[in-house]
A and B are shown apart, each in its own frame.
Chain A
């Protein structure tokens, strides 16, 4: 006699809902384990979003760098004045570039610290990164002030407009990064951000490394290549 077993009809996604409920019930927080994340990709939406944003930001800086290269030697028929390239202080900018590059190291050390639950060390590296970023911005303000005193303003000519727009946008990105780093430091200090949310610091770190790689391109293409 054939035995037929009939399974009770279950609503769609019932298994998924059950798994997620049980995970929440047992307080599961291992979001680093990609295979158990409740997303289609197995990756956190926040991290995917940050990478998508960084990809789109490549376009912004690609356009700005292209515009500068197109206009770098053009002062226009009616306007005069020097170009930014005439006034570059390469040794000074090299030091600024080195400072920003080293801030990427301190940022990655902040990420590894919070992943190991070393909160004091994480706070130290976050503050160091913000301080290095601030030194870079101070250097940029000093450079811009020097250019202005030499007669190179934003509207002096096409070349200067393109230069200030490109480096100014990068400076705004670095400044926003500093604000985010200080915010992370406050959250960690108040105990609102622990090792279980280390990915938040990692995502801020991705943004910070991005402003670093953009500067790597700007430093080579705008400053060093004659």
Chain B
């Protein structure tokens, strides 16, 4: 094995540890652009009952791709993932608490003026 081969192997190892190559990042951006195009298409085309679930799924997939590849969480220390996911879980808890206000704390007769609706 010559020196050039060793150097190439090291470069590949480095990429697998710290992220993608530039071409890899451009491919990821292309995927994100296509997903955004599909999202926007739901505004012009009636997708019926699957519209909201598909928008939510697309949002989660785009979020996951940016966090994993552009923010390097897929390649970086798990400590960063724990810190970020903790914040995300707390945010989802806040969101769920808001959901309970819609489901349980509204006046069944309709608008409750004291709740500024």
Contacts and interface: CB of A to CB of B under 8 A. Distances in A.
20 contacts: A52-B83, A55-B85, A55-B87, A55-B88, A58-B87, A59-B90, A62-B91, A62-B94, A62-B95, A77-B117, A90-B40, A94-B36, A104-B29, A109-B25, A206-B71, A213-B62, A216-B59, A216-B63, A220-B55, A220-B56
A74 B117 contact: yes
A205 B63 CA distance: 16
A69 B113 CA distance: 18
Nearest to B26: A105
A213 B67 contact: yes
Instruction: Please provide the 5 A-B residue pairs with the shortest distance between their CB atoms, ordered closest to farther.
Output: A55-B87, A62-B91, A58-B87, A66-B98, A220-B59
Contacts of A154: none
Interface string A113-140: 0010000000000000000000000000
A57 B59 CA distance: 19
Interface residues of A, number: 57
B22 interface: yes
B95 A51 contact: no
B86 interface: yes
Interface in A33-55: 34, 41-43, 47-48, 51-52, 54-55
A220 B39 contact: yes
Contacts of B91: 58-59, 61-63
Interface of A: 32, 34, 41-43, 47-48, 51-52, 54-59, 61-63, 65-67, 69-71, 74, 76-77, 90-91, 94, 97-98, 101-102, 104-105, 107-109, 112, 115, 158, 202, 205-206, 209-210, 212-213, 216-217, 219-221, 224-226
Contacts, number: 138
A98 B33 CA distance: 7
Interface residues of B, number: 50
B104 interface: no
A63 B87 CA distance: 12
Interface of B: 18-19, 21-22, 25-26, 28-29, 32-33, 36, 39-40, 42-43, 51-52, 55-56, 58-59, 62-63, 66-67, 70-72, 77, 79-80, 83-88, 90-92, 94-95, 97-98, 101-102, 111, 113, 116-117
Contacts of B80: 43, 47-48, 51
Given A112-B19, A112-B22, A209-B71, A102 B33 contact: yes
Contacts of B58: 220
Given A59-B90, A216-B62, 10 more contacts: A42-B77, A55-B88, A58-B88, A58-B90, A77-B117, A94-B43, A105-B25, A112-B21, A112-B25, A158-B117
Nearest to A107: B70
Given A59-B91, A220-B39, A74 B66 contact: no
B70 A225 contact: no
